[in-house]
Amino acid sequence: MTAEAREVYDTVIVGGGPAGLGAALYLGRSCRRVALVDSGDARNMAAGVMHNVVTNDGVTIADYRARARAELSRYTVEFLDDEVTRVAPEGERIVTTTRGAGTLTSRTVIYAAGVRSRLPEVPGLAELWGKGVFECPYCHAYEVRGGSFGVYGGSVPGECLAATLTAWTSSITYLSDGRRLPEEERGRLDAAGVPVVADAVLGVAAHPDGVEVKLGDGRSLALTALFLHLETEPRVAPLRPWLTAEDLASVQTDERGRTSLPRLYVAGDLGRTMQQAAMAAASGGLAAMSVNADLVREDRPGALFDLPPAAH
């Protein structure tokens, strides 16, 4: 379909992960005309599977997305496998520009493009990401429960992560990568019974039992899995210069995804929700209800309260 042939959408959704798909489902069932644009490079693809989503625990991410799209095909939801390069207001509409399909004009936009993870510059870490090196214990620790875990606390402190992991194993080693630990961080590790290895981490490699960590003093540690907290980068480049804040969470004005930027809503990892698939999907539903309520209010002034009633 050409850009000229497209009518104005009620909503364009940027991002086709759990948040975007959840929003599309709510809006499709609200008889709204929706376009969902997905670049296909979500940060959880390396994990291969997803957990903690009822009826979908352990399903592959690819299968989850495919089945979600199949379910959405009965509604007025159009899918575009494309990259969004620009999102900006034009009068009372928002124009979303894509690299391949041209421009999409809509009354609202739900931005659910997520974040990018920034791995520490430790040799071998990127190659093992999602294959022995993980971030979320709730997503990955069960499959390696009872094993020997390492927690990398070099660039982003992870003492709380180390303490949390004691629910899955009693064998945890904290790797500070040569960083001197503040007293509070050391105290939490001591309270959790987690020993600290202070040597520099030179690299990680695959090991028959999981992951091998090479240390600066010449030793190697064989671990079942390595966990770490990551710094993240919000994927908001297409919103510049409309968005002048660092991220969308800082301009989110309520828990239902509204933002201070007119007609722009946020869902998923870019918002205030915890970065989990089930919670991202729920935030997509909340943003969609906000969109629908706000459009009803716009089309029929006085028909609704200032905020939509809670769902029943």
| 8 A C-beta contact, residue 150 and residue 177 | no
| CA–CA dist 165, 159 (Å, integer) | 10
**β-strand partners of 151:** 174, 227
Provide Rg for the chain, Cα atoms: 22
Domains belonging to the chain, first-starting first, are 9-117+232-299 (3.50.50.60), 120-228 (3.50.50.60)
Q: Closest by alpha carbon to 290, among 251, 252, 239?
A: 252
Q: Closest by alpha carbon to 21, among 309, 270, 274, 283?
A: 283
**pLDDT tens, position by position, for the chain (312 residues)?**
444 445 799 999 999 999 999 999 999 999 999 999 999 887 667 778 889 888 899 899 899 999 999 999 999 999 999 999 999 999 999 999 999 999 999 999 999 999 998 999 999 999 999 999 999 999 999 999 999 999 999 989 999 999 999 999 999 999 999 999 999 999 999 999 999 999 999 999 999 989 999 999 999 999 999 999 999 999 999 999 999 999 999 999 999 999 999 999 999 999 998 888 899 999 999 999 999 999 999 999 887 766 554 443
Cis peptide before 18 (omega within 30 of 0): no
